[in-house]
């Protein structure tokens, strides 16, 4: 039972009552939660909301990530994953056969996936037809596998290369087998900060418009926020408010993923106070604030790849209800120094969830539960 008087002593009595009454929090409320020194108090409010929505269930998915290329024209300053062209050391482009082999798994250890997550850099010349062919070929071999692929940034890039509208690109990819889109590329919407970390990427309005177009076609999408770099508390809350407004308009966001910035091999210079010693608490507080602000997005993901397994477990007590999945292979976080495992097995994920005090629920990409 939460203690109203304690929240009053923190100066958060009005926020406490709004959360209990399931009322929307304002931009200012979000900033006040960001300044609250008691992370566990913010976490307990978020846990109340998470329990109201999902009880003691914590979701996971049997999935595999495939990053088809790290060659990218965008040159985001925070990104350790990208290479500027194919000749640069460490650059790669997978062939369709490489991708199909990864989806199959090894002969002695075949994968039985529920979700395939495909994303990559914005390659200068791979044509839309190549992506359609990949999706069709995967679907032909694995008709029941849900394909979650391409961020709004990639869709904007495919449109630019093909000369088609983003809506037309989405229609073509849906026809080829796309059922869901991951939430990457949102980073931070606030214009000044976005200019510093990803000046060449689709801007905030474009990202949100493409998400809305996908929703209008019945393609569910996720959404993200990259935090813990040079953004301000105002930037974070502004980002959440813009996502919330878009969700009011188009309603297709399924899950929000707060992505804590992994600092290695980055060209971004971080302020002194962003040191490693404060990151864990800030990450838990941020997960909690996201749950509290995003009252119209059903799920909050504690992405164990970026948070690490231990903090992801703690995040389940701070508003998160999903751990993502088995993953198998991950490059974006690990090339930037993430210390988590490459993949986890189903028993490991279920153990992590049970050990944290929750009931594991296996789900599809679109969050239908699997018995």
Smallest gap, in angstroms, from Cβ of residue 354 to ligand V47?
22
Interface with ligand SF4, residue 81, by CB under 6 A: yes
Which residue reads 């539960």 in tokens?
369
Instruction: Give the other-Cβ count within 10 Å of 130's Cβ.
Output: 15
Q: Which of ligand V47, ligand SF4, none does residue 126 bind (CB under 5 to 8 Å by kind)?
A: none
Site for ligand SF4 in 3-62 (CB under 6 A): none
Interface with ligand SF4 (CB under 6 A), residue from 26, 34, 40, 74: 74
Q: Find the shortest distance in angstroms from Cβ 22 to ligand V47.
A: 26
**Binds ligand SF4 by CB under 6 A, chosen from 47, 48, 82, 331:** 82
By a kind-dependent CB cut-off of 5 to 8 A, residue 72 interacts, out of ligand V47, ligand SF4, none, with ligand SF4
Burial class from Cβ neighbours inside 10 Å (0-12, 13-18, 19+) for residue 21 reads: exposed
Which of ligand SF4, ligand V47, none binds 303 (CB below 5-8 Å, type-dependent)?
ligand V47
Q: Smallest distance, Å, CB 9 to ligand SF4?
A: 42
Q: With CB cut-offs between 5 and 8 Å by kind, which of ligand V47, ligand SF4, none does residue 183 bind?
A: ligand V47
Site string for ligand SF4, 114-133 (x = CB under 6 A): -------xx-----------
Which lies closer to ligand V47 via its Cβ, residue 43 or residue 184?
A: 184
| Residues in CB range of 302: below 8 A, 6 or more apart | 287, 311, 312, 313, 315, 316, 320, 322, 323, 324
| Residue 40 contact, options ligand V47, ligand SF4, none, Cβ 5-8 Å cut-off depending on partner type | none
Residue 26 contact, options ligand V47, ligand SF4, none, Cβ 5-8 Å cut-off depending on partner type = none
Applying CB under 6 A, among 75, 233, 280, 343 the residue interacting with ligand SF4 is 75
The structure tokens listed for 350 are 């279920």
- Residue closest to ligand V47 (Cβ): 184
The interface partner of residue 228, options being ligand V47, ligand SF4, none and the CB cut-off 5 to 8 Å by kind, is none
| Total residues interacting with ligand SF4, rule: CB under 6 A | 12
Tokens matching residue 246: 């878009």
Q: What is the Cα–Cα distance from 90 to 92, expressed in whole angstroms? A: 6
Residues at the interface with ligand V47 (CB under 6 A)? 78-81, 151, 182-185, 187, 222, 224, 226, 257, 259, 261-262, 266, 303, 306, 324, 332-333, 336
**Residue closer to ligand V47 (CB basis): 42 or 76:** 76
Query: What are the C-alpha distances in Å from 320 to residues 56, 117, 218, 238, 307?
Result: 11, 20, 25, 20, 12
Q: 122 contacts which partner out of ligand SF4, ligand V47, none, CB within 5 to 8 A by kind?
A: ligand SF4
Q: Smaller CB distance to ligand SF4: residue 153 or 219? A: 153
Interface characters, 181-200, with ligand SF4 (x: CB under 6 A): -----------------x--
Binding residue (CB under 6 A) for ligand SF4 from 62, 66, 72, 134: 72
Question: Which residue, 72 or 305, has its beta carbon nearer to ligand SF4?
Answer: 72
Instruction: Give a three-class secondary structure readout of the chain.
Output: CCCHHHHHHCCCHHHHHHHHCCCCCCHHHHHHHHHCCCHHHHHHHHHHHHHHHHCCEEEEECEEEEECECECCCCCCCCCCCECCCCCCCCCECCHHHHHHHHHEECCEECCCCEEEEECCCCCCCCHHHHHHHHHHHHHHCCCCEEEECCHHHHHHHHHHHCCCHHHHHHHHHHHCEEEECCCCCCCCCHHHHHHHCCCCCCHHHHHHHHHHHHHCCCEEEEEEEECCCCCHHHHHHHHHHHHHHHHHHCCEEEEEEEECCCCCCCCCCCHHHCHHHHHHHHHHHHHHHHHHCCCCCEEECCHHHHCHHHHHHHCCCCCCEEEECCCCCCCCHHHCCCCCCCCCHHHHHHHHHHCCCEEEEECCCCCECC
Residue number with CB closer to ligand SF4 (7 or 81): 81
226 binds, among ligand V47, ligand SF4, none (CB under 5 to 8 A by kind): ligand V47
**Site residues for ligand SF4 per CB under 6 A:** 72, 74-76, 79, 81-82, 121-122, 153, 198, 201
């Amino acid at each position: 039972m939460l203690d109203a008087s304690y929240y009053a002593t923190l100066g958060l009595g009005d926020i406490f009552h709004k959360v209990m009454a399931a009322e929307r929090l304002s931009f200012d409320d979000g900033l006040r939660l960001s300044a609250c020194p008691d992370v566990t108090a913010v976490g307990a409010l978020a846990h109340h909301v998470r329990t109201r929505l999902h009880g003691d269930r914590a979701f996971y998915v049997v999935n595999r990530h495939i990053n088809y290329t790290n060659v990218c024209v965008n040159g985001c300053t925070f990104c350790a994953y990208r290479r500027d062209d194919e000749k640069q050391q460490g650059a790669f482009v997978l062939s369709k056969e490489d991708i199909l082999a990864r989806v199959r798994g090894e002969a002695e250890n075949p994968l039985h996936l529920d979700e395939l997550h495909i994303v990559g850099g914005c390659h200068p010349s791979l044509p839309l037809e190549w992506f359609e062919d990949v999706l069709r070929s995967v679907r032909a071999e694995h008709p029941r596998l849900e394909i979650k692929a391409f961020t709004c940034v990639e869709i904007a890039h495919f449109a630019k290369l093909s000369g088609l509208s983003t809506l037309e690109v989405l229609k073509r990819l849906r026809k080829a087998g796309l059922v869901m889109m991951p939430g990457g590329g949102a980073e931070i919407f606030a214009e000044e900060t976005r200019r510093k970390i990803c000046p060449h990427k689709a801007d905030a309005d474009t990202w949100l418009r493409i998400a809305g177009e996908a929703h209008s076609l019945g393609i569910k999408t996720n959404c993200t926020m990259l935090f813990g770099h040079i953004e301000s508390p105002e930037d974070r809350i502004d980002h959440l408010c813009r996502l919330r407004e878009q969700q009011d308009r188009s309603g297709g966001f399924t899950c929000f993923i707060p992505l804590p910035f992994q600092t290695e091999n980055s060209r971004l210079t971080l302020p002194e106070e962003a040191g490693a010693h404060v990151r864990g608490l800030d990450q838990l507080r941020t997960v909690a604030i996201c749950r509290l602000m995003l009252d119209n997005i059903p799920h909050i993901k504690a992405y164990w790849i970026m948070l690490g397994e231990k903090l992801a477990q703690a995040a389940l007590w701070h508003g998160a209800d999903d751990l993502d999945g088995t993953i198998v292979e991950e490059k974006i976080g690990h090339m930037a120094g993430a210390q988590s495992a490459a993949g986890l097995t189903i028993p490991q994920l279920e153990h992590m969830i049970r050990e944290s005090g929750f009931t594991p629920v296996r789900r599809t990409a679109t969050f239908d539960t699997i018995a």
